[in-house]
Amino acid sequence: MSEDLPTIILPWKFCAQANHRLMPVIRGGRAIVITAPPYRQAKESAELSIKRQWGRRAILTAPLAVIARCYFPDRRRRDASNLSKMLGDAMSGIVYEDDSQVHRETYERTGIDRANPRVVITITPLTPITE
């Protein structure tokens, strides 16, 4: 079944670290937390790219495995798993109904690609567990 599912490739510039997601601001004299504009913009760009690559395929409803292979732009210290929140939210409602369907996640530090940094995402439906 997974043979007909596309591999989703997101340019690095569309990826945002989860630890950059929230930003405190003062509104009306009160401190509140909002989604940081750079994070929101990266997520919106990722969603558009995912929609183009996913095409008219149906939204998946089964349990899923997600493998994200990260090709970093440089050797700076980064945690590949910090991408999981943004990528999961960006695929939710496009690839699958809800990110709670993801039963297995793997984020791999694949290498450095200065010319084409990216995240390559493979989605595989899993057989539902029956009790």
Range of the domain at 14: 2-125
For residue range 32-91, list pLDDT tens digits in order.
Answer: 777 788 888 888 999 999 999 999 999 999 999 999 999 999 999 887 777 888 899 899
Does any domain span residue 109?
A: yes
Determine the pLDDT at residue 9.
Answer: 97
Q: Tell me if 131 is assigned to some domain.
A: no
How much of the chain, in percent, has pLDDT values that exceed 90?
56
Q: DSSP for 44-56?
A: HHHHHHHHHHHTT
Domain count across the chain: 1
Q: What was the pLDDT predicted at 36?
A: 80
Q: 99: domain CATH number? A: 3.30.1330.70
Mean pLDDT across the chain = 87
- Is residue 30 included in any domain, yes or no? yes
- Find the length of the chain: 131
Q: Is residue 68 part of a domain?
A: yes
Structure confidence by residue, pLDDT tens digits, 4-31: 788 999 999 988 766 566 767 777 888 7
Cβ atoms of 23 and 36 closer than 8 Å: yes
Query: Considering the domain boundaries, does residue 65 fall inside one?
Result: yes
Look up the pTM and report it.
0.82
| Residue 101, in any domain of the structure | yes
C-beta of residue 101 within 8 angstroms of C-beta of residue 55 = no
pLDDT for the residue numbered 1? 42
8 and 50 Cβ atoms separated by less than 8 Å: yes
Q: Is residue 63 part of a domain?
A: yes
